Amino acid sequence: MRKSLLIMMIVAIFAGCGEAKKADNAQPSSMMKDKKMMAQQSSQSPREEIAAGMQFLRDGDLKMAIKSFDEAIRENPRDVEGYLILGQTYMHLKDYNRAIDTFIVATRVAPDNGQAHYLLATNLGLAGNYPMARLQAQKCVEIFRKNKDEENFKRSVALLQGLPDSSAKQ
């Protein structure tokens, strides 16, 4: 029962993340080159880097999206948004270890960010580290309860309940 609930939550999370659209074949290659050159310019602000990365995601260019998000983080390492988006990109790629590493940093940058703890708990669960996933899920439940964020609170409680108990035999 718990495994099926966990699987349903994972599917819901991935459905919410959406799937990056494939680049339109009709788009001229010179436009793609221009976008790549724009992303490589260091004069962009972190917000512009994130916007460029989101466009790369929409175009299906995950490698350039990751570079843009990395650049945004390098330019403003105290802004949690870059970490959250980068971690979700790794999650979409099913690279859970990199996603976990990214979300760990996000929780250090913004310890009271419930979304960072929620995403960390989710990826720890996907990677099979249920004891740590439960700890992070409990943390996000506390944060969302404290902030009176009912929707995210309920979502976090569902995640916590769907994670196998470390004391239960699997």
**Homologous superfamily of domain range 96-164:** Tetratricopeptide repeat domain (1.25.40.10)
Query: Between these two residues, 26 and 137, which has the higher pLDDT value?
Result: 137
Task: Please tell me the distance from the alpha carbon of residue 39 to that of residue 163, in angstroms, as a whole number.
Answer: 39
Note the pLDDT tens digit of each residue in 46-95. Answer: 889 999 999 999 999 999 999 999 999 999 999 999 999 999 999 999 99
Domain boundaries, the chain: 96-164
How far apart, in Å, are the Cα atoms of 41 and each of 14, 47, 113, 129?
A: 31, 13, 30, 39
pLDDT digits (tens, 9 = 90+) for 105-145: 999 999 999 999 999 999 999 999 999 999 999 999 999 99
